Amino acid sequence: MIVDLIDGDDFRDRLVALGIRIPEGACPETCARMARLKHTEVGVPGLEDLVHELMARTDIMLPSVRAAIERFLLPGLR
């Protein structure tokens, strides 16, 4: 059985799909920080749902993505 991991590129792609501008190749930490900044400034519809969806799948998420979400996004969405 092959499982697709949620890696940094997948995380970035999902944030870009919400309308957040993130440079190509940005690390998960940069992605999360930029998403938090945009959410703080103008709000990002769907960001909270995305974060909850991703955190429900930590078993297939790379540790760097999980750490970035926990450090930068979860505190701002609570």
Give the pLDDT confidence of 21-52 residue by residue, as tens digits: 999 999 999 999 999 999 999 999 999 999 99
**What is the reported pLDDT for 74?**
95
- Judged against a pLDDT cut of 90, whether residue 59 lies above it is answered with yes
Residue 62, φ and ψ in degrees, nearest 5: -65, 145
Specify the DSSP class assigned to residue 6. B
Whole-number Å distance between alpha carbons of 1 and 14: 24
Whole-number Å distance between alpha carbons of 7 and 65: 7
- Judged against a pLDDT cut of 70, whether residue 3 lies above it is answered with no
Question: Are 64 and 28 in contact, with CB atoms under 8 Å apart?
Answer: yes
Predicted confidence band at 4 (pLDDT cuts at 50, 70, 90)?
confident
Domain spans in the chain, listed from the N-terminal domain onward: 8-77
